[in-house]
Amino acid sequence: MKSLITIIKEHINNFYLISRLSLYEVKTTNNNNYLGMLWEIINPGIQIFIYWFVFGYVLERGDVEGVSYFPWMVAGYVLWFFVQPSIIKGSKSIYTRINMVSKMSFPMSVIPTYIIVSNLYTHLLLLTIIGVILQFLGYGISWYYLQIPYFIIATFILLVSITLITSTLTTIVRDFQMIIQSIMRMLLYMTPILWSSGHLSSKLQLIMNLNPFNYLVQGYRTAFLGQGWYLIEHWESTIYFWVLVFIFLLIGSSLHLRFRKHFIDFI
């Protein structure tokens, strides 16, 4: 528990630094591209079109849970554009920036976090665009939109907890980064983003609910499509999610503080 408190204090004390570094990360990521930040919209747009074309048009998916396939898919898939790059980039953030750490004085625990914050800016932009698109598709703004800030915060804290673990492990064992990339590809298809879990048996649905990203995807989808108060109506999943996040935070903070003095030895 002491390690978690230490990590929290480091983040609070370096809040301004995290915000500055995250903005710098956004600028440098797109600095060499002619279209710059537009690629943060173009790439998701291309991926959405491809998955809609394959799963919605070619496979002729009709309504899913009473909703047309495109709005149903995009309302959940928008989350993945935040989750995937945050975990993949956050996991390798420490060992790829060890030279920067040696020149500046700040705790290594904030490095994965500012990477996640840099992706959060793009996520907020995409959420706005998706919200506008859904207005034209007949899913107007409702009181259920009040859940979206909650699910953004929940996603952010989950990503911080995961990358605390993975960034430590990838610094120690570099091959772990390849495992993470494989897991993320697998999770895209194991999480009901492109398909509905409604036809699964109760046992399989229970297993699917163990995936914390399932909770977040369903929460986003329910809020955007105005289908209910997911965090309240599925209070068991809400409790399970936060217990799991707390466990990840405990493990991640403990691992990070135990090994970070020796990170330079693994580079």
pLDDT at 66: 74
Q: What is the 3-state secondary structure (H, E, C) of 17-45?
A: HHHHHHHHHHHHHCCCCCCHHHHHHHHHH
- Please tell me the pTM assigned to this model: 0.89
Rounded CA separation 202/125 (Å): 36
Three-state SS at 226 = coil
215's CB contacts (< 8 A; 6+ apart) are: 209, 234, 237, 238, 240, 241
**In terms of DSSP H, where are the helices of 209-262?**
212-225, 230-233, 235-259
Confidence of residue 263 (pLDDT cuts 50, 70, 90): low
pLDDT in tens, 21-54: 888 877 777 666 665 567 667 777 777 777 777 7
Rounded CA separation 49/70 (Å): 9
- Please give the C-alpha separations between residue 40 and each of 120, 135, 219, in angstroms, as whole numbers: 11, 22, 23
Does position 59 have pLDDT exceeding 70, yes or no? no
Lowest mean pLDDT among 42-51, 78-87, 142-151, 186-195: 42-51
